[in-house]
Structure 1
């Protein structure tokens, strides 16, 4: 009756839409919150304002059909689906003591109501968690130090695993095992200890091995030749993926996390170090910062020699080296490319150790002080490798606008895999940002020249002679990433060809000198680059059924789901748990798809004719005047997209015209090919190169500095970005600097403070862009030490979330896939831009109808 009276009052003072909203607000408050409605219609506006907390996506100022639908959907969701609605209300303001007392009473009631079963369950859960922690405690495995014990334990573990893999494969048995394994995996996923990760790896290995056992024994149709050939082709690709999965678990099971070993206080005990900086065709502007930073390394000057190794034999490089005090070497020929360049310098220098930097990698001043301590502690240590860090975005980060938002393509290798290899004494040389001991390097004949990946091959040779390597997972140098997708692909082609050459010529699974851990780690590093053919097989596999009606997996659809889905889900959640900080879920498929077509031929040629192929140099320091779509690079993706669309349409036709007993099989293949289309859309999206007009890349920071004006006034400011040419500065609002002015900026370099003269090139609000006015070498080195060469310059760049969420990553990949098709459509016909805008608005409108979290700020038109 009360609400009826309210309706009569507000109907006279409000529009129909507002009256209906007010009425439902009364129902909401009465039914959910037991709040007595306001007696006066004057409070209607205030009531609508309160509703914005519960209906954040409803625009009460512009009520209409869309907003009314949003209101009804959200109301039904709150009333019938959302549990614990009252707990979402903003906390009322009470006296602090009353709140504490209320909480204590609630806790006491909970404790009194806890049943005996609940206490027993909590006890068992805590004991299980303790067991998981013990499972991941390195101290608990000392009993495996004896070789006989290790062999015996390995045999027992193998028998148990074999028993688990060969358990009955009927549908009921598989479902029971599936539910049990999933329950354990989901339970331990959020436990923050190494034992949980190890247990998830074990479960994933068992589930994937059961899937492979089932595939081999029960899913091959030997009666139809075409089915047999295509089925064995897919099975071969799956066996490859299974091997890479297991070897990946071996590599990443126990990252060593090596710490820094301090050097002796007496610098007389420090060894001599030669710094090699090889260059071929890079511009001097790219090479200058690296040479100057190397000369400024914190190391006794009488024990440090810097060598610029110019395979381009350029006069301007020789003049620059002489001017700054670096040594200069040039060769008469370019035989063996970078390896030959380094070996030539090795013959003419005498340092105890050799630090190698690519010419675009600027070392931090602390590089040698952090790496050299390990050599003085271990006489048989031959190599210390540090991460390759890049302060410019690679093509994926640049073209997809994800720089420093998600881990980049190389982060998994340098952040996790190399650290995992270090446990097995298998971390290898990566060509730059490393120190090598001269004696072992000369013992293996210098840098390897038999393959185009001379770095990894050199480390393999030293490991065969029982020398050790170390990986220090602290970025101590930074360089330029590849500028374009075509350059990126060219670099990966060289890596893939070289790894395949090593696998063919110096296979780590054969020969003497390597431990089993080293053999497995090296093998995985080389086999990974053979993924071109398996990746293409996965892309084309569903077409075999949808277009050719070939049964490549000869089994009922429900059995395929019971075996394949757990295999995939366990692999994804385990890799998310282990690798989440270094690579988000589903991104690996996009990276590999981009490269698959291009690395296929070079790797196959290298396996059968390892001497073929040449070294190609990755270009750095380029610019793009405007956005453009790389049709040449994207041609293979477009072909695959066309084939997958044909398969998708054929699958839709089969749903309606095909046999009814194949509907589930058709649905599974449509889902598979839809996923392939999403991944291919991401590959197409990367092919659109974005504009790059700056020759020098800016590094984003947030560092306090001081600005000194010409009249000696000093203002506290912040350095927000910098490059080797200029910087961006955030000023206080009262600072009067304007475009065309000059001033000085004061920056800390360790405990000392340096002043640098700059000219203001632009001002927007409180932000100014400045250009350095640096003339002499000493000032240039001081500037580098205060920016790129700071000891902590790259600490904190890995600020990604450890709790990576696969569903969130999957949504990101889906969005990128659609973005790729949108970009491709606009390139084909810019006139469809209005149509795409209409579709985008329709999609946004549909999303706006879905329920939203109360209290969340959402803005819809």
Structure 2
């Protein structure tokens, strides 16, 4: 590479570049990062004249203005960090000026006053109670007056929005406009409450709609067929993303956060519940914990019937059902998969309500006590859903080492989206951890069988008939996540195909029975699974310019920056405010990128042939004996990485040898390619399957207990983890146990005491691992399943979720 540069550059410049590159490498910078940073410095030197006095002043204060960025050992994203920190310094930075820098003293005083004003703003607004007072005034208004007020406000807002969206600006005016909106957003995002979130949504929609208007009216090259084709494809993908963005804002704008309703004191009025656990090909070891936990549910024993619905017709399941005293149903035929299995069981059950759990979802004792109260309060309530919670890591968490560190893929849906749906009476039935009113279920003919996502289709039918739904955001069961990336993708393919099938066969935008808000919530859920092709377009769009010289956005580079960046920044700020603790933007990109290739084809096929495709059962409880790369899964993403690498190479060549007026466009395309390669790198990394050799997953808990040695000595201890194979014990006094010691684990629940024989299998200072002496005790689930969900030590506090009503899906299990 050095020889090539020596031919391209004059000797002084070549020496300077070489010296800088070698200095970075001596500091321990990887070769790619050192080369990229050297290139960016060279570009900056060409465009910004770093040798000028103004830049020399900035460089002299580099350690003060950018303390988190090392000039000697750069990182790949330092260019972006410099840009973001620069913007941040202009608006919000405060602090004492460095010694001898009186030049900036006045500016620092102004910044300090502004920062103090920003910091005090939330407290002042909270103290004034503006949001509460506004809501109270609206509630006191006459219904008709409030409706007329909303209509007038909507018309005025619509006219103002139309003006803001469609008014053409010169580039300086556009810069001032987006800078003003950005400053407002940076102030508003500091204010707590939901009304500021609404304002952020308004700002984001204003900028995004203005961007889309500009794209449709000013950025298509009608004179070049190739540029026009590529540009229209990108514009279609952007339009899809904009529609999903708007519907997503609507869906999550005001989460309901429904709380449980107490049950009547007289338990004789409580209804009969049929608790059904469908199974097909899962091991008995996967199903047993669920059945044991169901037997421990806090409900009158004469008012609950537990069923194993065995679609595999296995004798050992029938024998197990007889052993523990639950009912066993196996059907002679197996049409319609899980939906058909449940519908067959409904013919043999007569309870007032039906609770459904997947065979790996272990319910808590409080499930019925927490959910049934709403059915007494709302006689039209047909279905109540609780979250799906997993105590094992999914492939993303396990393969990337992010378990308990970032929200998992399902946290956004069960933490925010379902709660938002509940506001609009559009909660989706998710196939498990839910309870349905039997009369409403019979009214629609049982579980829907026309699509492979029978759960969502069932809730759609219930809503069409005017029944209501509810969602309580308190986990009441914990299950197994998919063990491999291929199984995870297969599950998502089924979901994607099924939702598009519903869109074609029972379109929520058409037909009778649904409210407008319900139609939008269902439409957004179905459109979400059509993201495969748009995502692939975004991953390859810059290559159209770099490899084929097609202008996908036919506009000056500065105009692209002034329209694209505000659109992306405002969407990111708003989603961060709304989704912050449920979904991180970077990981969201990786989740959707991994699925994009695999859901693109089945969703497209389902659009044109909705009856094609069959139900596939998601494998649970499997093992990954050796770390390996799933080359079959990662093949399409390796191809995309190679294509983007080619685009990167061509882009660098065009930067040095292409037309001068295309230089900034090339730079923007290169930044886009580097971003895409970062996301694709994460997608490829997910395909490296980490080992998973546990037959039963370990769950972290914190439960007081005692240990009895064979010699009769008792020692207090704390249980730190639990699995079907044994428990982890922590004792205050070390060296009290030895490996292979026979002990009794003493636990207490209320006034009941339990003793479980164990054998010590390993010793680690004050912690010991032990295994059950014989097999897993049958009644152990009644002790552990509530702590698994209600108490989350070390991660979400030690609070009983049944008392607080607080979302606890932080990846604790």
Same fold (TM over 0.5): yes
Q: How does 1:666-685 map to 2 (within 5 A)?
A: 666-685=666-685
2:781 to 781, 784, 793: 784
Residue in structure 2 matched with residue 523 of structure 1 by the alignment = 523
Q: How does 1:545-624 map to 2 (within 5 A)?
A: 545-624=545-624
TM-score where L is the length of structure 1: 0.77
The answer to whether 1:544 aligns with 2:541 is no
Q: Tell me: CA distance 1:637–1:671, structure 2 relative to 1, closer, same or farther (3 Å).
A: same
Q: In the aligned structure 1, how far is the partner of 2:261 from the partner of 2:561?
A: 52
The answer to whether the Cα contact below 8 Å between 2:734 and 2:766 also exists between their aligned partners in 1 is no
- Higher RCO by CA contacts (8 Å cutoff, separation 6 or greater): 1
Residue by residue, what CA displacement relative to the aligned partner does 1:726-763 show, whole Å, maximum 9, x if unpaired? 11111233442111111112223355442222111111
The answer to whether 1:375 aligns with 2:375 is yes
Residue in structure 1 matched with residue 236 of structure 2 by the alignment = 236
Q: In the aligned structure 2, how far is the partner of 1:144 from the partner of 1:759?
A: 71
Residue by residue, what CA displacement relative to the aligned partner does 1:415-469 show, whole Å, maximum 9, x if unpaired? 0000011000001100000000001111111100010000000000000111000
Determine which structure has more spread, i.e. the larger CA radius of gyration: 1
Q: In the aligned structure 2, how far is the partner of 1:517 from the partner of 1:145?
A: 19
The answer to whether the Cα contact below 8 Å between 1:365 and 1:790 also exists between their aligned partners in 2 is no
Residue by residue, what CA displacement relative to the aligned partner does 1:815-860 show, whole Å, maximum 9, x if unpaired? xxxxxxxxxxxxxxxxxxxxxxxxxxxxxxxxxxxxxxxxxxxxxx
Q: How far did 1:168 drift?
A: 2.6
Q: In the aligned structure 2, how far is the partner of 1:119 from the partner of 1:726?
A: 55
The answer to whether the Cα contact below 8 Å between 2:747 and 2:755 also exists between their aligned partners in 1 is yes
Q: Tell me: CA distance 1:565–1:748, structure 2 relative to 1, closer, same or farther (3 Å).
A: farther
Q: How far did 1:536 drift?
A: 0.1
Q: In the aligned structure 1, how far is the partner of 2:111 from the partner of 2:629?
A: 64
Q: How does 1:327-346 map to 2 (within 5 A)?
A: 327-346=327-346
Q: In the aligned structure 2, how far is the partner of 1:465 from the partner of 1:310?
A: 31
Residue in structure 1 matched with residue 412 of structure 2 by the alignment = 412
Q: Tell me: CA distance 1:164–1:767, structure 2 relative to 1, closer, same or farther (3 Å).
A: same
The answer to whether 1:134 aligns with 2:168 is no
Q: Tell me: CA distance 1:338–1:724, structure 2 relative to 1, closer, same or farther (3 Å).
A: same
Size of the aligned set, in residue pairs, is 696
Q: Tell me: CA distance 1:354–1:748, structure 2 relative to 1, closer, same or farther (3 Å).
A: same
Q: How far did 1:156 drift?
A: 2.9
Q: How far did 1:138 drift?
A: 4.1
The answer to whether 1:743 aligns with 2:737 is no
Q: How does 1:362-761 map to 2 (within 5 A)?
A: 362-750=362-750, 752-761=752-761
Residue by residue, what CA displacement relative to the aligned partner does 1:310-343 show, whole Å, maximum 9, x if unpaired? 0000000000001100000001121000000010
Q: In the aligned structure 1, how far is the partner of 2:608 from the partner of 2:228?
A: 26
Residue in structure 2 matched with residue 324 of structure 1 by the alignment = 324
Gapped regions of structure 2 (runs ≥ 5): 1-66, 74-92, 100-109, 798-813
Q: In the aligned structure 2, how far is the partner of 1:283 from the partner of 1:668?
A: 53
Q: How far did 1:170 drift?
A: 2.1
Q: In the aligned structure 2, how far is the partner of 1:635 from the partner of 1:264?
A: 58
Q: How far did 1:794 drift?
A: 5.6
TM-score where L is the length of structure 2: 0.82
Residue in structure 1 matched with residue 102 of structure 2 by the alignment = none
Residue in structure 2 matched with residue 841 of structure 1 by the alignment = none
Q: Tell me: CA distance 1:149–1:448, structure 2 relative to 1, closer, same or farther (3 Å).
A: farther
Q: How does 1:42-191 map to 2 (within 5 A)?
A: 84=96, 133-134=130-131, 138-142=135-139, 143=141, 145-146=143-144, 147-191=147-191
The answer to whether the Cα contact below 8 Å between 1:133 and 1:194 also exists between their aligned partners in 2 is no
Q: Tell me: CA distance 1:459–1:754, structure 2 relative to 1, closer, same or farther (3 Å).
A: same
Q: In the aligned structure 2, how far is the partner of 1:747 from the partner of 1:117?
A: 58
Q: In the aligned structure 1, how far is the partner of 2:137 from the partner of 2:404?
A: 38
Q: How far did 1:295 drift?
A: 1.4
Residue in structure 1 matched with residue 31 of structure 2 by the alignment = none
Residue in structure 2 matched with residue 18 of structure 1 by the alignment = none
Q: In the aligned structure 2, how far is the partner of 1:114 from the partner of 1:696?
A: 56
Q: Tell me: CA distance 1:529–1:711, structure 2 relative to 1, closer, same or farther (3 Å).
A: same
Moved more, 340-349 or 167-176: 167-176
The answer to whether 1:770 aligns with 2:770 is yes
The answer to whether the Cα contact below 8 Å between 1:476 and 1:791 also exists between their aligned partners in 2 is no
Gapped regions of structure 1 (runs ≥ 5): 1-55, 58-64, 67-80, 88-112, 801-861
Q: In the aligned structure 1, how far is the partner of 2:790 from the partner of 2:698?
A: 13
* Aligned-residue CA RMSD (Å): 2.8
Q: Tell me: CA distance 1:494–1:159, structure 2 relative to 1, closer, same or farther (3 Å).
A: same
Q: In the aligned structure 2, how far is the partner of 1:326 from the partner of 1:315?
A: 15
Residue in structure 1 matched with residue 248 of structure 2 by the alignment = 248
3-state DSSP class of the match of 1:626?
coil
Q: How far did 1:786 drift?
A: 1.4
Q: How far did 1:356 drift?
A: 0.3
Q: How far did 1:189 drift?
A: 1.5
